[in-house]
């Protein structure tokens, strides 16, 4: 196996890792749109370190972070949606 083949295989593995972590970041409900974009940029700008570190971060945050600003169950009642200006239990 030549050095060229090793580099090609390593590049394919890093690209697959970055793609998997990018999809995990993009589908996360705990991150804002801006956070998703910045983290995906880090993943691809710093391929190995970015992918590994943010992949580990996504694994550690999995299931621990509730969706922010919305009740845990879907409701059609507009008064139950939290706009972020006041906590849900606080009177306006």
Can you tell me the mean pLDDT for 49-77? 66
Contact 81, 67 (CB under 8 A): no
Mean pLDDT over the full length of the chain: 76
Q: Percent of the chain scored above 70 by pLDDT?
A: 66
Instruction: Identify the band that residue 38 occupies on the pLDDT scale cut at 50, 70 and 90.
Output: very high
Domain for residue 22, yes or no? yes
Instruction: Identify the band that residue 2 occupies on the pLDDT scale cut at 50, 70 and 90.
Output: confident
Domain for residue 72, yes or no? no
pLDDT given for residue 37 in this prediction: 93
Please determine, for residue 73, whether its predicted confidence score (pLDDT) is greater than 60: no
Report how many domains make up the chain.
1
Smallest Cα–Cα separation from 21: which of 48, 81, 8, 9?
48
Where do we find the tokens 């590049």? 11
Domain for residue 76, yes or no? no
Domain for residue 71, yes or no? no
Retrieve residue 41's tokens. 């940029």
What range does the domain containing 14 cover?
3-66
Instruction: Identify the band that residue 83 occupies on the pLDDT scale cut at 50, 70 and 90.
Output: low
Retrieve residue 42's tokens. 């880090």
Domain for residue 92, yes or no? no
Domain for residue 55, yes or no? yes
Determine the Cα–Cα distance for residues 36 and 24; give it in Å rounded to an integer.
Answer: 10
Give Cα separations from 68 to 23, 29, 30, 55, 71 (angstroms).
Answer: 20, 9, 7, 21, 8
């Amino acid at each position: 196996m030549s050095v060229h083949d090793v580099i090609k295989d390593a590049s394919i593995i890093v690209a697959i890792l970055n793609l998997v972590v990018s999809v995990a970041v993009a589908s996360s409900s705990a991150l804002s749109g801006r956070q998703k974009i910045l983290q995906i940029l880090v993943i691809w700008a710093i391929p190995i370190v970015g992918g590994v570190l943010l992949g580990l971060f996504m694994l550690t945050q999995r299931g621990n972070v509730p969706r922010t600003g919305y009740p845990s169950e879907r409701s059609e009642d507009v008064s139950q949606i939290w706009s972020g200006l006041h906590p849900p239990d606080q009177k306006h």
